[in-house]
């Protein structure tokens, strides 16, 4: 079967399952199981798919991302982020763009400590973005330093 026709069949089956109201996770699971069985040689293909899933789940490089998101949410809900921003703002004085500079320094620290630039970027987005918006920063200026810290780790 031509690869384009295969792609169209897979995509159309997936969209058909979405329109039937099947949840996204079960739609993807059904399509993966069906085509792993068809293209990878029956039960050997299903075994290979299970091994691939197990291998991808046991990789711990993405583990810091939800944990840092949780840490950012806890800091935001309990007001720790607000107190931290106030203290750092008093400490830095009248430096223009101090929260943008703080985002870059925080991105460097979190990328160094956690080993995951995505996790640090997610945590800074949870804590710094609302503070920067409250203090009158424009959206372009708030997102630039926070997204820029994602490239600091590599």
36, two tokens? 């792993």
Which pLDDT score is estimated for 9? 93
Q: What is the mean pLDDT of each run of 10 residues along the chain (154 residues)?
A: 87 94 93 89 87 82 76 82 78 81 79 72 79 83 80 68
Shared domain check, 68 and 134: yes
Which pLDDT score is estimated for 16? 95
pTM here?
A: 0.50
Shared domain check, 37 and 102: no
83, two tokens? 């107190």
Q: What is the DSSP letter of 115?
A: S
Shared domain check, 22 and 40: yes
Structural domain span for residue 38: 3-57
Secondary structure percentages of the chain, helix, strand, coil, to 5: 80, 0, 20
């Amino acid at each position: 079967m031509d690869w384009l026709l295969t792609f169209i069949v897979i995509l159309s089956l997936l969209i058909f399952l979405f329109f039937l109201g099947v949840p996204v996770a079960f739609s993807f699971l059904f399509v993966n199981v069906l085509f792993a069985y068809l293209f990878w040689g029956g039960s050997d293909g299903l075994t290979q798919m299970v091994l691939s899933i197990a291998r991808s789940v046991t990789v711990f490089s993405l583990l810091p991302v939800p944990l840092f998101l949780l840490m950012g949410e806890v800091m935001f809900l309990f007001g720790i982020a607000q107190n931290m921003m106030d203290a750092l703002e008093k400490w830095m004085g009248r430096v223009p763009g101090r929260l943008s500079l703080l985002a870059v320094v925080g991105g460097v620290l979190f990328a160094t400590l956690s080993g995951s630039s995505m996790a640090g970027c997610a945590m800074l987005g949870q804590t710094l973005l609302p503070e920067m918006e409250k203090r009158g920063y424009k959206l372009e200026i708030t997102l630039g330093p926070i997204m820029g810290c994602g490239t600091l780790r590599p």
